[in-house]
Structure 1
């Protein structure tokens, strides 16, 4: 079976993306509490919190790989890819600019959206070759875990120009490997049969899944505004 064999939307992917969104909002909610000084500084950077973030990233990036395969399995859709790529570049630029304004010492130079844009460029040629994508994905993850390559690659030459701590960083190693595994997942018959098809399709889940990029962009400004308002009222 191939991604084009699926005649309807795979609800399992929507659920994965929705769960990632919910966990992301929870994570950023806790992070914002730290930013405003309302919880210890070890949250959400301490033990357990990093793993929580890894779950979020894994869900998101598996969905990215799946979507690349679903769209381009029958041939590269240039217009679709360019449109999506430009959207990601603009969104990434907005994230970087806003981080420079709100946290100039910890600004975001290569966060989630930056990564998705570049990883999509790297992974899309493999969208028709699931076994090759799986093999390369595993090699990338293995290379990282064996310390053959740094997570900061390829930024080492300009590392001195970048913040010592950034509020969001997603390395090409190992996370490009997860995107490639997502491509492989899109060709597995058991997955295309939609393991979650027995669940009633929630309009909330579908809406959030279809508009995940918008949600990603607006949820933090909303949370910051909310916490800022609470802080003003608390000090009044």
Structure 2
């Protein structure tokens, strides 16, 4: 009975963790803008300090997106809508700031993942018992493919080189294979990140069954929760706002000096 009640409750911890990831993302993009679009030294220093944390909060965001997909009525529809937004982001960045264009960023990535999950979800056994095996398998596959960008497949020292033909063009860039000339200011290829998303869809079975720990359903940081619930809107609008603030900071610094 308690699990049934939990299954209908909002999981505030997921909102807060997603909000934390969004909060970190905004600051990361702000430092990136100051460093590379406005060439400010303090922006470069902040970016270099913050950069090691980027894969962790990005991975957290993707994992929660996978968990949330279990609670969606139509992942296929969500994915198609997000793909449209991602296409607009590509078009706008290509026209306005071509040097910082986004060809396959996190919105493109999540759209593809949602569409894929939406296609296979009807074929999954909804009443299958939860097991950690799919999550562990996804973790291993992530570790095996995380060096695809470096033309390696494997874990640690146990790696095999991938054929050069995969990196001859940019047509396979969404998968993680691209030429040295490829550039996307925001880049999240399917390999290895798709395995983080699908690890989330596996863990999401616990959310469907209301089997998350009791503390996950309590609200603790409303601000982060609000950020998490409005993550898409924040992602779309935060870059123009950051650019405007960075331009203003640059003008102030120029007038002072």
TM range (shorter): 0.7 to 0.9
Q: Deviations over 1:80-136 (max 9, x none)?
A: 334312321122112212221343134211100000011222334257466464255
Does 2:82 match 1:84? no
CA distance in structure 2 between the partners assigned to 1:3 and 1:168 by the alignment? 40
Aligned partners of 2:9 and 2:217 also within 8 Å: no
Does 2:123 match 1:123? no
CA distance in structure 2 between the partners assigned to 1:223 and 1:109 by the alignment? 20
**SS of the residue aligned with 2:205?**
coil
Aligned partners of 1:18 and 1:208 also within 8 Å: yes
Alignment RMSD, CA only?
A: 3.5
**Change over 3 Å in CA distance of 1:158–1:200 after alignment to 2:** closer
Does 2:127 match 1:108? no
Q: Deviations over 1:33-90 (max 9, x none)?
A: 10211126865775x644311112111111111111123xxxxx4xx33431232112
1:188-199 aligned within 5 A = 188=206, 192-197=212-217, 199=219
TM-score (norm 2): 0.72
Q: Deviations over 1:9-31 (max 9, x none)?
A: 01110111011011111111111
Aligned partners of 1:133 and 1:181 also within 8 Å: yes
TM-score (norm 1): 0.78
CA distance in structure 2 between the partners assigned to 1:4 and 1:54 by the alignment? 35
CA distance in structure 2 between the partners assigned to 1:3 and 1:102 by the alignment? 50
Aligned partners of 2:135 and 2:202 also within 8 Å: yes
Unpaired runs of at least 5, structure 2: 154-161
CA distance in structure 1 between the partners assigned to 2:241 and 2:204 by the alignment? 34
Match of 1:230 in 2: 249
**Equivalent of residue 170 in structure 1, options 182, 188, 198:** 188
